[in-house]
Structure 1
Amino acid sequence: MAQASPRPTGQADWKTYTTPDGTLMFDYPPDWTVKDRAREAAPGGVFIEVLTGARKSIATLRTNIVTKASCTQKLPYALMDSQELPALAQNGVKPRFVFEGRDDHESYPSRPAPLSYGITSAPLPAGPSACPIFQFFNWPPGVAAFSGVYDPLVTTPGDTPDVDTPESYTGTEEYDSLRQMITSLRPAD
């Protein structure tokens, strides 16, 4: 079993959540809450939702997902942040945390580009375009997802909708906390 990563520096008051099946754990800020959505989980899986202190849904964790990825078209790709997560490695594949986006302004010019953060086992795209966002990682017996969606129209407190860009969001306390939470995911002790 992989080594558990240490609790984020300066986060001594953070709480630790262990999934009901006892396989995974992660740390989260003391004013955030974890909501068990077991009734909506895949058979034999876990489904939890993490909410900020302001009750904003920030991420979900699901296990035992059955999915089939297909790449019907590639879109312009943007990577805002990435970090390898060796504690979750399966069969030599190390998943990584990513904050990424796809731009489809040709089809939907009035919509903001889809952006998401989470853990993926897929390799990083090797060029300026990529398949649709597919943030799943290998976790027995199938795949799992610990991710959330960035919505530029839901701003950080005190900002106007035009101020909160993906680049400025990466500098917020909320992003720092959600990134530390997601990257703290590890096998339970």
Structure 2
Amino acid sequence: MRSPSASGAAIPTAFLVAFLLAGCGPQATPPTTTGSPGGAPTSASATASAAPTSTGAPSVAPSPTGTAPAPDSWTSFTTSDGELTFDHPAAWSVRDPAGELPEGGGAFAEVTNAAGRPLATLRTNMATGSTCMEKYPYEVLETQELPALAQDGAAPRYVYETRGNDAAPGPADTPAAAYGITTMQPPAGDSTCAIFHFFTWPPTAAMFGAFFSPDNNVTPGAESLPYLEQAKKYAETEEYADIKRMITSLRPAG
């Protein structure tokens, strides 16, 4: 796996949890320049769910004529524990791997596009914690409050944000960009801690998002641009708009 560079970076969704549990502050660390999925966390841990069942698989109702859904049609997915629901393009797939998670409850789902590229991971029943040891330049590309996920009156936010720039590197000496849901307050000033996309969800915390990876989040015509420029241009694509619509549709099931 390469580190972010002018030609882009490969950041598989399978490593997303490792990224999100590393770095300073209650935030996450991007991949290192050696190609590892992030530096060691200051202090962080994660516990995942019991094996999901096939009841969480998405279903697409046939059209009245029995034909396949239109490419731009959407369907809904409910996690196998019956707790959360989100909408996604019918052409995308959701992998809910039964038997792949330790016991303890919760849910796991990985969303891939029609080309099979991972775009986001949803995971619940996670324990998190870290200490902010260093701050980095940042940019918030988009943010939106999500009242449907509020706990004790506090609503998390959807955010697409970056860390580091040409003059000052981000965590692990690389720039980083990620989209997801967070309970962290919006940053202030000219620097902030590493990216931390976790939100409060009983019994502990959850995540739904991914680090931007040019290998997965393809922006046509932007391959030669630096990593952060590709990340910003990706926000202009139809696929990103669908990702944002999908993540912000997350809500309690039922």
State TM-score, norm by structure 1: 0.85
> Following the alignment from structure 1 to structure 2, what is the Cα–Cα distance between the partners of residues 155 and 119?
18
1:16 corresponds to 2:81:
no
Q: Secondary structure at the match of 1:40?
A: coil
AA at the equivalent of 1:37: P
Give me the CA root mean square deviation.
2.5
TM-fit CA distance, 1:35: 0.2
Quote the sequence identity (%): 43
181, 193, 209: which is aligned to 1:147?
A: 209
Distance (Å, rounded) in 1 between the aligned partners of 2:102 and 2:250: 19
In 1, Cα distance between the equivalents of 2:186 and 2:84? Answer: 24
C-alpha distance in structure 2 between counterparts of 1:35 and 1:159, whole Å: 30
User: Deviation digits for residues 129-174 of structure 1, max 9, x if unmatched?
Assistant: 1111110000000000001111246562642412562221111011
Q: Aligned ranges for residues 22-171 of structure 1 at < 5 Å?
A: 22-38=82-98, 39-40=100-101, 43-103=104-164, 106=168, 113-152=175-214, 154=216, 156=218, 158-163=220-225, 165-171=230-236
Q: Which runs of 4+ in 1 moved over 6 A?
A: none
1:104 positional shift: 6.5
Q: What is the CA-CA distance between 1:72 and the residue it aligns to?
A: 1.3
Aligned to 1:175: 240
CA contact (8 A) 1:154 1:161 kept: no
CA offsets per residue over residues 49-87 of structure 1, 9 Å max, x none? 000001010000000001113211111111100000000
Query: Hey, what's the Cα distance between the residues in 1 that align with 2:212 and 2:79?
Result: 24
Contact 2:72 2:89 in 1 (8 A): no
Greater strand share, structure number = 1
* Cα contact 2:136–2:169 (8 A) shared by 1: no
Supply the AA of the counterpart residue of 2:164: D
* Count of residues paired in the alignment: 179
| Distance across 1 between alignment mates of 2:223 and 2:213 | 10
Q: Is the 8 A contact 2:72 2:90 kept in 1?
A: no
Give yes or no for contact 1:41–1:62 (8 Å, CA) kept in 2: no
- CA–CA distance in structure 1, aligned partners of residues 250 and 169 of structure 2: 36
Worse-superposed segment, 123-132 or 156-165: 156-165
* Deviating more after overlay: 30-39 vs 92-101: 30-39
Q: Considering only CA atoms, is the larger Rg found in Structure 1 or Structure 2? A: 2
Q: Give the whole-Å Cα distance in 2 for the aligned partners of 1:97 and 1:107.
A: 24
Work out the CA distance in 1 between the residues paired with 2:142 and 2:202. 26
